[in-house]
Amino acid sequence: KYVIGSHEGGLVTDMPSHDNLFLYYGDLSDFSSISRIITTIRPDEVYNLAAMSDVRVSFDIPEYTGDVSGLGALRVIEAVRQAGVPAKIYQASTSELYGKVLEVPQTETTPFNPRSPYAIAKQYAYWMSKSYRDGYGMFITNGILFNHESPRRGPNFVTRKITRGAAAIALGGDRKIYLGNLDAKRDWGYAPEYVEAMWRMLQLEKPDDYVLATGETHTIREFLEEAFRHIGKRWEDHVEIKQELFRPSEVDILMGDASKAKRDLGWEPQTTFKDLVKLLLDADIELAKQNGSGQS
Ligand code: GDD
């Protein structure tokens, strides 16, 4: 709901202010708010990271997802075009576009085969970005990011759900973690490194599309094993499978090839899978301690 701009005097008054950071209230489903912000700020760079981004929830609210994650991107692009601002735009595309994958590993040329309302909305945004780039000569780059995690990840996503639960268990909490499909494979990287690459994409002379990924893939079960190894417990004693947490259709395997990003952006992921699990777990253990043992 908030848009961050570098123009003095944001439209939000009840948020803490920062020297070089101003918040404006906006909503991707409301073109006039986006347009007003773009016209007021006249930004050099726009990063559209907003979406209804929970893949499973998108099956429950497909229309809303299409509005915000699909049409919302178009609203941002149109607002920039209509304002005549020469802003560079970053569109958060996603590895979910590959869906039931047609190739392993996935690259910028792998055909899309989306399997969820979320991925289909994002495909609309991807093609709109390309269409405005080609048709109007706008600088719009699609970052096709594979899963990128950090301690800021929402607890409804599987990595945080596991590390939060494991942290509470490590501190003595008697707690179950309810999960769905443990066989899906994901290419998990560390979010701050991916954000650096987003910025690098907009520093290039020309817009393009870039995959960001580690090139490694692991099952949810492997993530569980690694997290519980750290706390010296057996995950089998703490995890219960719930049928309702499975998705109507699943993306079975994601594994990206970021060679193009390496070539053009000089970007390579630094954090390994094991380091990532440890980093997320340590952060949740710290948080659980602050909130009182086992209460994270
Ligand atoms: N969320 C969740 N909760 N996922 C579970 C659970 C559970 O209880 N149990 C198993 N999973 C499996 C899902 O079925 C999926 O295969 C995998 O864990 C990862 O799920 P999420 O962490 O929800 O992420 P995602 O891969 O669906 O999507 C994320 O990454 C995309 C980039 O590839 C989101 O951030 C998307 O917005 C993003 O585009």
What is the distance between the alpha carbons of residues 54 and 84, in angstroms, rounded to a whole number?
33
Using a 6 Å cutoff on CB, does residue 61 contact ligand 1?
Answer: no
Say which residues have a Cβ less than 8 Å from residue 286's Cβ, sequence separation at least 6. Answer: none
Using a 6 Å cutoff on CB, does residue 195 contact ligand 1?
Answer: no
Distance 219 CA to ligand 1 centre (A): 11
Mean pLDDT lowest among 35-44, 148-157, 188-197, 286-295: 286-295
Say which residues have a Cβ less than 8 Å from residue 86's Cβ, sequence separation at least 6. Answer: 139
SS3 175: coil
Contact 64, 58 (CB under 8 A): no
- The yes-or-no verdict on residue 187 having pLDDT over 90 is yes
What average pLDDT score do residues 202-213 get? 98
What average pLDDT score do residues 179-185 get? 98
Distance 55 CA to ligand 1 centre (A): 7
pLDDT tens-place string over residues 75-113 = 999 999 999 999 999 999 999 999 999 999 999 999 999
pLDDT value of residue 7: 55
Q: What is the 3-state secondary structure (H, E, C) of 235-271?
A: HHHCEEECHHHCCCCCCCECCECCHHHHHHHCCCCCC
For atom 36 of ligand 1, the residue with the nearest CA is 53
More confident position, 178 or 21: 178
**Mutation pick for ligand 1 pocket among 96, 110, 158 (CB with most ligand atoms within 8 Å):** 158
Using a 6 Å cutoff on CB, does residue 147 contact ligand 1?
Answer: yes
Reply yes or no: is the peptide bond before residue 105 cis, omega within 30 of 0.
Answer: yes
pLDDT value of residue 8: 57
For atom 15 of ligand 1, the residue with the nearest CA is 184
Mean pLDDT lowest among 182-186, 261-265, 284-288, 292-296: 292-296
Give alpha helix (H) positions in 137-203.
158-170, 191-202
Residues forming beta bridges with residue 211, ordered by sequence position = 144
Task: Give the length of the chain.
Answer: 296
Distance 157 CA to ligand 1 centre (A): 6
- The yes-or-no verdict on residue 255 having pLDDT over 70 is yes
pLDDT value of residue 296: 43
Contact 22, 9 (CB under 8 A): yes
pLDDT value of residue 14: 62
As a whole number, the mean pLDDT across the chain is: 94
Residues belonging to the active site: 94, 96, 118
pLDDT tens-place string over residues 25-49 = 899 999 999 999 999 999 999 999 9
Q: Which of 28, 22, 26 is nearest to 8 (CA)?
A: 22
Using a 6 Å cutoff on CB, does residue 57 contact ligand 1?
Answer: no
pLDDT tens-place string over residues 128-158 = 999 999 999 999 999 999 999 999 999 999 9
For atom 32 of ligand 1, the residue with the nearest CA is 147
Distance 58 CA to ligand 1 centre (A): 12
Quote the percentage of the chain above a pLDDT of 70: 93
**Mutation pick for ligand 1 pocket among 115, 186, 211 (CB with most ligand atoms within 8 Å):** 186
Using a 6 Å cutoff on CB, does residue 221 contact ligand 1?
Answer: no
